[in-house]
Amino acid sequence: MAYPTDRKYTKEHEWIQANGNSAAIGITDYAQESLGDIVFVETPKVGAELTAGKTFGTVESVKAVSDLFAPASGTVTEVNGDLATSPEKVNKDAHSAWMVKITLKNPAELDALLSAADYEKFVAEEAGH
Amino acid sequence: MRYLPKSPADREAMLKAIGLRSVDDLFAPIPSEYRLTRDLNIPRQMAESEIVDFFRQRSRENGDGYTSFLGAGAYFHYRPVIIDSLISRGEFLTAYTPYQAEISQGTLQSIFEFQTMICELTGMEVANASMYDGSTGAAEAVMMAVRLTGRRSVVVARNLHPEYREVLATYATHQGMPLSTVGFGDDGRINLTELEQAVNSDTACVLIQSPNFFGTLEDVDGIAEIAHKNGAMLVVSIAEAVSLGIIEPPRQADIIAMEAQSFGVPLGFGGPYCGVIATREKYVRQMPGRLVGQTFDKKGKRGFVLTLATREQHIRREKATSNICTNQALVALMVNIFMTVYGKVGLKELAKQNLAKTAYAVSQFGKHGKILFANSPRFNEFVVQTSEDPYAVNSRLLGHKIVGGFPLRKFYPELGNAALWCCTEMTTRSAIDTAAGLVAESERSVRSAKEEVEEVAR
Amino acid sequence: MKHSTPKATRHLNQNEGLIFEKSSAGKAAWKLPPLDVPEIDTAKLLGSAERKDLGAMPEVSEIEIIRHFTRLSTWNYAIDLGMYPLGSCTMKYNPRVNEAVARVEGIANGHPYQPEKISQGALRIMKTLSECLIEITGMDAITLQPAAGAHGEMTGLLMVRAYHESKGNARKKILIPDSAHGTNPATAAMVGYAVENLKSDSRGMVDIAALEAQMNQDVAALMLTNPNTLGVFEQDIHKIAEILHAKGGLLYMDGANMNALVGKVRPGDFGVDVMHLNLHKTFSTPHGGGGPGSGPVAIKKILEPFLPKPVVITHSDGTLGFDYNRPQSVGRVRAFYGNFGMFVRALAYIQANGPDGLRQTTEDAVLNANYIRKGLEGTYDLPYTTPTMHEVVFSDKLQAKKGVRTMDIAKRLIDYGFHPYTTAFPLIVPGALMIEPTESESKEEMDLFIDAMKSIAQEVEEDPQTVLDAPHSTRVSRLDETAAARKPVLRWKPD
């Protein structure tokens, strides 16, 4: 699949879409495909601090739980309430189902992340195993 | 050996198919220096009749034929015969945990009914499929409150069952959960002033028992107010499930940790029993233990499955809500059948009989001994203070094949010669009269001994 | 192999709703004797605490209850019907004499607080069982208090921690092999220890070099299952124990797989310091749909002061009693003394077997597993060629090429009249099929199982959709677990 170029990606299969000093975070289509039917998304509250590379929540399918890793550091300004009642939205369209929005602490952190093309390559290698 | 379904010919054929000479070859992976070359030093193989004999003899040595006034967390109620008829069916007794839902609908549907009835009785919104017992259930409920509030301290009632408090202390030790205890007053109930002072913004929960260890009903409203206004949760432990038939459940509680043994589980010298945790729907993801949920199959047929398994150890491993795996399923089925047999009307009548027997006993015992916490409402237990040491009183009773109340000095030394007595629907009037009569005898003997001493002194 | 009678595959299709759907006012299954004491005025006694309404609690008659649960029971698979090849569960025969002796009056109705004088029967049962289990495990002492295996793990680790604390350093972590059961890391976390993973080598055993590198003064213990969840006996067990003991660590053994060892080797002899047993696995107490169990913890002398209290002792006059004077005890892990009803059953099982019966049982268990291994080798991928004992682990690698996975094969096995084996565990084998027959299976039953598995493998080649859509013969087909988790419905509600 062609991954949207309006954002950056991580090796833990999260995406981050910056808009000035704020950014939206979600998981990629590859991630939702691997997890299967998602039944629950656990996110931090508004005001919580995210640290790049550290876990900030979980995504649950029926038989497994996966940690969510913060692509960048910042403070949570919004949480997607839709996902509490309709976690299946992540399966339907992972790239529009944002989970949290944050105010970026250090926007330069995004420079080190993968571009859409790099992520596509990464995924192709992973799937090849 | 009669449980092994293979003949020597079978074994030979199988070894041949594997390509081995003897069974010993199968144990070659075990380093030879450890392989046993002798028989285990345990009693020889016994015939079934010998096994039955052995346990019959043990039964005779275990108070068979005695009438008991003991409660204190384990209650003697009548067990309807159909409980054992049904749970002895091989399909219930020898079934595994219902992970494969398609061939476990019997177990799963009965658990779903169990969860429903526990909710109805406790006034809570969800209930799990069982914990080991009331004591570990209370500890796990407290840990749940700690996770939910993000706070660490726990305030515990001193009139919560002493052994439950010991268990909580063991569980709390390595989880960084400071425990503080709040005392009870002359009415046997939690001292609300002390509670006010003990609860603060670091308190995760207040843990109480109602009816409490002394059988007395707590002022749950008052306690809930203090807990909630400080942002703490209220966890209520219920040790005598039959009380729910006539006593309003603690609907103000955030989590209820029950012991359901009274509902058709044999006393069995302390176990297996049946703990249950019940709570509000919003807390369900932090609940330990198995949960059964309703769903549909591909053809739209209703069915039941274990659900929200991602809380549990086999998936979450070190981040699980608890390490619990095996629970008390068969015992929970006994509880289920009991609740179904008595039902809406029967549970109330059963509870009323317990109240009546106890009220009568209190009036009889009160003529000779001192009833503590006399004016507080109670369910089926009461505390009697005697002039003689309760162990001595109980020795008198033992001679009449009666087991008297549980002496309290060990856990509450300030109560002196006090003992905790319990009457259920199984306690006869004549047993109460005999026991009360022997307590009277005990009081008389102490009085006359005193009088003799005073006479000599004169 | 030709068989004249195929295994029963159809589960009876009784229809039965929820008990609440049968309930109506006025029906009753109970009757209490008349009160022999004066009636009471509930309102006067209880005031506002009086409960008026028991809500939607059911009202049904006795025959409806009998039919309800009897019908439900026909939807269950059970050991009484056939084999459960579940790995590490040890689904063996649950002897009925166990049930009979547990119900003898004085044993069934003993109150845990009754005076010691009239508790000699219960105490003697506990002591006799304890002595047998100590002899079987080769350890020095035991506690019967824990209610299940996981509870036993917690108790064992509490004693490990207390031991280290008494030496001045509680230490920080527990090493756990990547093949371990989920209760192991969950328990370590509950006792305040961090978990460090230990990888397995190509033989499926603990990687000794890795253990050597990871063992240090911060490690309190290694939690080992032996044989491990692959069914493989740790041949370097003495080296493992040495490495741990040399740096002051302890060896904890998860006794879930004792069915491979009883009467043939004793963990205490090969360096284990503390271990739990599962009475509901090795010692035949019934699974009852998920419990109750019992998880006694056997220990070496060095841990004796830390045992949970009370401890069973013999007084100077020969009578038995409980000793509460244990200043270094870890405390209580539950109220009362343990799942006593399971002690009765486990002791009856040991008595029915005796030393020769137990040894024979273990031999049959290992023989059965190896027979099945031989029968299925070549049909299913065997990831480790190491010799296995009472259980064996295959993988779905060959079948995955056709898009069929272990869960699908397991569901198809139901159509052949068997309960599935353990799927997707241990985690170190992707797509695992974990099989433990136990000694309770006859050659006939196992041949039927081997035939069924071979037939399914053939179906995967010729008609994979049949396998993917399985089971076809059960009362309910595959249930929507996703919906159950997304919008949990955890109780019945009146309209």
Q: Report if residue B223 sits inside a domain.
A: yes
- Residue C3 binned pLDDT confidence (cut-offs 50, 70, 90): very low
Q: Which pLDDT score is estimated for C475?
A: 86
Instruction: Tell me, yes or no, whether C276 and C155 share the same domain.
Output: yes
- Residue A128 binned pLDDT confidence (cut-offs 50, 70, 90): low
DSSP annotation of C50: B
Dihedrals phi, psi of B387, to nearest 5 degrees: -75, -35
- Among A40, A61, A65, beta carbon nearest to B316: A65
Compute the C-alpha angle C196/C201/C202, nearest 5°: 150
Tokens standing for residue A35: 């997890």
Instruction: Tell me, yes or no, whether C276 and C395 share the same domain.
Output: no
Instruction: Tell me, yes or no, whether C324 and C461 share the same domain.
Output: no
Q: Helical H runs in C259-405? A: 340-376, 397-400
Domain spans of chain A, in order of start: 8-106
Q: Which pLDDT score is estimated for B347?
A: 98
Calculate how close chain B gets to A46, using CA atoms only, in Å. 16
Q: Do C483 and B126 touch (CB under 8 A)?
A: no
CB contacts, 8 Å: A60 with chain B: 310
Instruction: Tell me, yes or no, whether C395 and C295 share the same domain.
Output: no
Instruction: Tell me, yes or no, whether C219 and C103 share the same domain.
Output: yes
Assign 3-class secondary structure to chain B: CCCCCCCHHHHHHHHHHHCCCCHHHHHCCCCCCCCCCCCCCCCCCCCHHHHHHHHHHHHHCCCCCCEECCCCCCCCCCCCHHHHHHHCCHHHHCCCCCCCHHHEHHHHHHHHHHHHHHHHHHCCCEECCCECCHHHHHHHHHHHHHHHHCCCEEEEECCCCHHHHHHHHHHHHCCCCCEEEECECCCCCECHHHHHHHCCCCEEEEEEECCCCCCECCCHHHHHHHHHHCCCEEEEEECCHHHHHCECCCCCCCEEEEECCCCCCCCHHHCCCCEEEEECHHHHHHCCCCCEEEEEECCCCEEEEECCHHHCHHHHHHHCCCCCCCCCHHHHHHHHHHHHHHHHHHHHHHHHHHHHHHHHHHHHHCCCCEEECCCCCECCEEEEECCCCHHHHHHHHHHCCEECCEECCCCCHHHCCEEEEECCCCCCHHHHHHHHHHHHHHHHHHHHHHHHHHHHHC
Q: Report if residue C50 sits inside a domain.
A: no
Distance, CA of C372 to CA of B154 (rounded, Å): 53
* Chains touching C (3+ CB pairs < 8 Å): A, B
CB contacts, 8 Å: C480 with chain A: none
Instruction: Tell me, yes or no, whether B162 and B310 share the same domain.
Output: yes
Instruction: Tell me, yes or no, whether C272 and C372 share the same domain.
Output: no
Q: Do C485 and A88 touch (CB under 8 A)?
A: no
The C-alpha R_g of chain A, in whole angstroms, comes to: 14
- Residue C5 binned pLDDT confidence (cut-offs 50, 70, 90): low
Instruction: Tell me, yes or no, whether C450 and C334 share the same domain.
Output: no
Distance, CA of B443 to CA of B449 (rounded, Å): 10
Instruction: Tell me, yes or no, whether B224 and B303 share the same domain.
Output: yes
Instruction: Tell me, yes or no, whether C178 and C305 share the same domain.
Output: yes
Q: Report if residue B133 sits inside a domain.
A: yes
Which residues does B159 contact at the CB level (< 8 Å), separation at least 6?
A: B184, B188, B189, B190, B209, B212, B213, B214, B216
Report the DSSP pairing between strands B402-403 and B67-68.
parallel
Instruction: Tell me, yes or no, whether C343 and C284 share the same domain.
Output: yes
Distance, CA of C293 to CA of C279 (rounded, Å): 6
| Range(s) of the domain holding residue B391 | 67-72+344-457
Total domain count for chain B?
A: 2
Calculate how close chain A gets to C10, using CA atoms only, in Å. 28
Calculate how close chain A gets to B266, using CA atoms only, in Å. 37
Instruction: Tell me, yes or no, whether B221 and B129 share the same domain.
Output: yes
Q: Do A63 and B285 touch (CB under 8 A)?
A: no
CB contacts, 8 Å: B138 with chain C: none
Is it the case that residue C160 has pLDDT exceeding 50?
yes
Confirm or reject contact between C110 and chain B (CB < 8 A).
yes
Q: Report if residue C218 sits inside a domain.
A: yes
| Range(s) of the domain holding residue C128 | 97-350
Whether a cis peptide bond, with omega within 30° of 0, leads into C430 is no
As for the ipTM of the complex, it is 0.96
The C-alpha R_g of chain C, in whole angstroms, comes to: 26
Class of CATH domain A8-106: mainly beta
**Closest alpha carbon to C288 in C297, C298, C279, C300:** C279
Cα dist from B121 to B43, B263, B332, C60, C318, whole Å:
48, 12, 15, 17, 47
What is the H or E stretch that residue C76 is in? none
Q: Do B96 and C289 touch (CB under 8 A)?
A: yes
The mean pLDDT value of chain B amounts to: 95
Q: Which pLDDT score is estimated for A129?
A: 47
pLDDT digit string (tens) for C286-319? 999 998 999 999 999 999 999 999 999 999 999 9
Instruction: Tell me, yes or no, whether B292 and B154 share the same domain.
Output: yes
Q: Report if residue B180 sits inside a domain.
A: yes
**Biggest CA pair distance of chain B:** 98
Instruction: Tell me, yes or no, whether B315 and B258 share the same domain.
Output: yes
Calculate how close chain B gets to C314, using CA atoms only, in Å. 16
Is it the case that residue B81 has pLDDT exceeding 70?
yes
Chain A contacts in chain C segment 402-431 (CB below 8 A): 424
Instruction: Tell me, yes or no, whether B269 and B174 share the same domain.
Output: yes
User: What's the CATH code of the domain at B378?
Assistant: 3.90.1150.10
Which of C328, C350, C372 is the last residue before a domain boundary? C350
- Residue C439 binned pLDDT confidence (cut-offs 50, 70, 90): very high
User: What's the CATH code of the domain at B301?
Assistant: 3.40.640.10
- Residue C83 binned pLDDT confidence (cut-offs 50, 70, 90): very high
Number of Cβ within 10 Å of residue C152's Cβ equals 31
Is it the case that residue C1 has pLDDT exceeding 50?
no
Instruction: Tell me, yes or no, whether B306 and B228 share the same domain.
Output: yes
Instruction: Tell me, yes or no, whether B353 and B332 share the same domain.
Output: no
Is it the case that residue C150 has pLDDT exceeding 60?
yes
Q: What is the residue type of C236?
A: D
pLDDT digit string (tens) for C219-271? 999 999 999 989 999 999 999 999 999 999 999 999 999 999 999 999 999 99
Chain C contacts in chain B segment 211-250 (CB below 8 A): 217, 244-249
DSSP annotation of A20: T
- Residue C425 binned pLDDT confidence (cut-offs 50, 70, 90): confident
pLDDT digit string (tens) for B316-342? 666 666 766 667 899 999 999 999 999
- Residue B201 binned pLDDT confidence (cut-offs 50, 70, 90): very high
Instruction: Tell me, yes or no, whether B120 and B250 share the same domain.
Output: yes
The mean pLDDT value of chain C amounts to: 94
Q: Which pLDDT score is estimated for B447?
A: 85
Instruction: Tell me, yes or no, whether C177 and C278 share the same domain.
Output: yes
- The pLDDT of B83-107, averaged and rounded, is 96
Q: Which pLDDT score is estimated for B176?
A: 84
- Among C30, C35, C73, beta carbon nearest to B341: C30
Q: Do C482 and A39 touch (CB under 8 A)?
A: yes
Is it the case that residue C204 has pLDDT exceeding 90?
no
Q: Do C486 and A60 touch (CB under 8 A)?
A: no
Q: Report if residue C64 sits inside a domain.
A: no
Query: How many Å separate Cα C45 from the centre of its chain?
Result: 46
Total domain count for chain C?
A: 2
- The pLDDT of A35-49, averaged and rounded, is 92
Assign 3-class secondary structure to C435-488: ECCCCCCCHHHHHHHHHHHHHHHHHHHHCHHHHHCCCCCCCCCCECHHHHHHCC
Report the predicted TM-score, pTM, of the whole model to 2 decimal places. Answer: 0.94
CB contacts, 8 Å: A34 with chain C: none
Tokens standing for residue B400: 């009449």
What is the SS3 assignment for A84?
A: helix
Q: Report if residue C36 sits inside a domain.
A: no
pLDDT digit string (tens) for C360-401? 999 999 999 999 999 999 999 999 999 999 999 999 999 999
Q: Do C479 and B10 touch (CB under 8 A)?
A: no
Instruction: Tell me, yes or no, whether C371 and C440 share the same domain.
Output: yes
- pLDDT-above-70 percentage for chain C: 97
Is it the case that residue C184 has pLDDT exceeding 90?
no
Q: Which pLDDT score is estimated for B179?
A: 97
Confirm or reject contact between B320 and chain A (CB < 8 A).
no
Distance, CA of C255 to CA of C153 (rounded, Å): 10
Is it the case that residue B115 has pLDDT exceeding 80?
yes
pLDDT digit string (tens) for C133-146? 999 999 999 999 99
- The pLDDT of A7-31, averaged and rounded, is 93
